[in-house]
Structure 1
């Protein structure tokens, strides 16, 4: 991937990236990564984060994995309210034991479209507080060449793009087999006496219909199994149990905020 030439025009808005710039040895020669024990503050408002299909299984242990929009983009749901991430603390700490999506791990690097030359180029978020001239791990060495750290980050972005395309193919397969349906995540609150109240819809999203899946002909099921898609479908379906955990986390955080308000 190109890292040194300025782009004619970078297109697209990318979640978390406030000031993306093409990585350039002249402009960014003195930039370095700032080491932080809790570096995830940039994702505090990431309610839902894009996932690659190969991440479904590990992500399913932590989050509901859903599909959104006309493109049926796979997302890891990390909060119930817009601008809320229940797995990241205000100090930038990530919930212990929770899977960290690759979309978050690649930050502050990203691939972006260079419209003038119809290609993808490596960019960094110049607005990130993880990059500074006084940082610990340089992006370029004394000869102006990308350091091992930068090379690894570029490879990570390249691999991420490969997985993104694989994910597009997986989603198209689900579309071709007409497996999507609109689903709802429902929460039933308890009153002061411990009795269930009126069920409340907390989210609407697209997911795989088990009924449609089970109705597929045997040869179609075999195709899904052989391609590995069936395992990813079941990881998605199992992940939906995670709505209960998400609701419990949201309730706990709300109770903590009320308690802190009372103390103040």
Structure 2
């Protein structure tokens, strides 16, 4: 069963058990995310993510988080191509970039453990980037991975702080977005967005505070990103049309 959306078999990284382990890109490079239609993102990712995805606020176990919507249908990611490549030119969220690694926190313990997904097809003992040196020391590459994981976790904490700040200001509301798919009206729901009217009506001091902290720009990046919903619908239309054409072509051959 998948955990954290994309992980199948998480285990703690161990210098003895995994000393010979190497990692290379799998043939189906981003296939692990093919059925993931949304991922959590850090607020620092918003300026880039908003250019490709609707970025919305969602309730999580630890508070209010940010999520990028990658697909309009369950179990469908419109940015993973049939060959496993990520859609060319589109932003790649850090949530996906960190795979097959992730930091795990023990309950009641502030320490974190690096884990990896043993199910990842790129793991082997012959080719790719080594995780450990022959003497068991971590390779510089693994050290960079750990730094990235720690930085991403810190940025995610900052994202939750943003969500909580907006909630405290009573700016978040449940939202339903309508879009057109194959000529029919559809709705997207189950998330929160900033109420722009309430934002504009905030006292000057509160607005200045948001601006001084660099949050006002992030808020408007979030609001502008909502226009990407219809663009996702266009991508889904294209994918369905291509699949239908391929089926017709296959039927004609037979």
* TM-score, normalised via structure 2 length: 0.92
Partner of 2:49: 59
Partner of 1:234: 220
Partner of 1:209: 195
Partner of 1:33: 23
- Cα contact 2:40–2:68 (8 A) shared by 1: yes
- Cα contact 1:38–1:93 (8 A) shared by 2: yes
The Cα of 1:114 is off from its aligned counterpart by: 2.2
The Cα of 1:116 is off from its aligned counterpart by: 7.2
How far apart in 2 are the matches of 1:60 and 1:37? 29
- Cα contact 1:122–1:154 (8 A) shared by 2: yes
- Cα contact 1:40–1:94 (8 A) shared by 2: yes
Structure 2: runs of 5+ lacking an equivalent: none
- Matching of residues 6-85 of structure 1 within 5 Å: 13-36=3-26, 39-69=29-59, 71-85=63-77
Structure 1: runs of 5+ lacking an equivalent: 1-11, 192-196
The reply to whether residue 103 of structure 1 matches residue 95 of structure 2 is yes
When residues 158 and 190 of structure 1 are mapped into structure 2, their CA distance, relative to the original with a 3 A threshold, is closer
| Count of residues paired in the alignment | 247
Instruction: Kindly report the root-mean-square deviation, in angstroms, between the aligned alpha carbons of the 2 structures.
Output: 1.8
- Matching of residues 84-233 of structure 1 within 5 Å: 84-115=76-107, 117-188=109-180, 199-233=185-219
Partner of 2:249: 263
- Cα contact 1:108–1:130 (8 A) shared by 2: no
Moved over 4 A (4+): none
**Per-residue deviation, residues 69-90 of structure 1 (Å, max 9, x unmatched):** 3633211111001110000113
* TM-score, normalised via structure 1 length: 0.88
Q: 1:249 aligns with which of 235, 238, 246?
A: 235
When residues 189 and 143 of structure 1 are mapped into structure 2, their CA distance, relative to the original with a 3 A threshold, is closer
The Cα of 1:115 is off from its aligned counterpart by: 3.2
